[in-house]
């Protein structure tokens, strides 16, 4: 399968996960406790930080954590797939033992420490943050 095929598959998987989560959230937010689906629209990096750092005691923590990890997994898979092509270079060269939790923590810390990037697209901020922490040589 060529790179275009893989990127299409990753895109479909990420969109499907988003639709599934949004349906679950509509059902779960009926009590209107101040936490809405708007948090998951991910218009900015700050929105993703909010989703990824929801307190463990919040009733929607598991949903938010799954959404966050899924977003990061999709970004990582896309990065790995596209950077395997000779046309693109790797942006992030994290150690092999790096976990999604590590990546999320680096991202959230970076965006909070660099508020000038909080309004950019979440995917751009992810690669900006992780590339700053784990740059590739050369």
Please give the tally of structural domains in the chain.
1
Model confidence at 63: pLDDT above 70: yes
Instruction: List pLDDT tens digits, range 73-115.
Output: 999 999 999 999 999 999 999 999 999 999 999 999 999 999 9
To 5 degrees, how large is the angle CA 74–CA 78–CA 81? Answer: 140
In which domain, by residue range, is 33 found? 3-133
The neighbour count for residue 92, using CB atoms within 10 Å, is 23
pTM of the model: 0.74
Domain membership flag for residue 36: yes
Sign of CA dihedral 65, 109, 7, 25: positive
pLDDT number for residue 39 = 72
Which residues, 6 or more positions from 65, have their beta carbon under 8 angstroms from its beta carbon?
52, 54
Domain membership flag for residue 138: no
Domain membership flag for residue 32: yes
Model confidence at 31: pLDDT above 70: no
**Alpha-carbon distances of 35 from 3, 30, 32, rounded to whole Å:** 38, 10, 7
Domain membership flag for residue 103: yes
Domain membership flag for residue 34: yes
Domain membership flag for residue 125: yes
């Amino acid at each position: 399968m060529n790179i275009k095929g893989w990127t299409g598959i990753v895109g479909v998987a990420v969109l499907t996960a988003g639709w599934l989560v949004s349906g679950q959230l509509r059902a779960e937010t009926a009590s209107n406790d101040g936490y809405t689906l708007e948090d998951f629209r991910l218009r900015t990096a700050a929105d993703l930080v909010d989703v990824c750092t929801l307190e463990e005691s919040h009733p929607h923590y598991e949903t938010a954590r799954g959404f966050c990890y899924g977003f990061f997994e999709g970004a990582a898979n896309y990065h790995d797939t596209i950077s395997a092509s000779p046309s693109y270079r790797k942006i992030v060269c994290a150690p092999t033992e790096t976990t999604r939790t590590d990546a999320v923590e680096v991202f959230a810390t970076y965006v909070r420490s660099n508020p000038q990037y909080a309004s950019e697209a979440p995917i751009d901020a992810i690669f900006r943050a992780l590339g700053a922490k784990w740059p590739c040589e050369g």
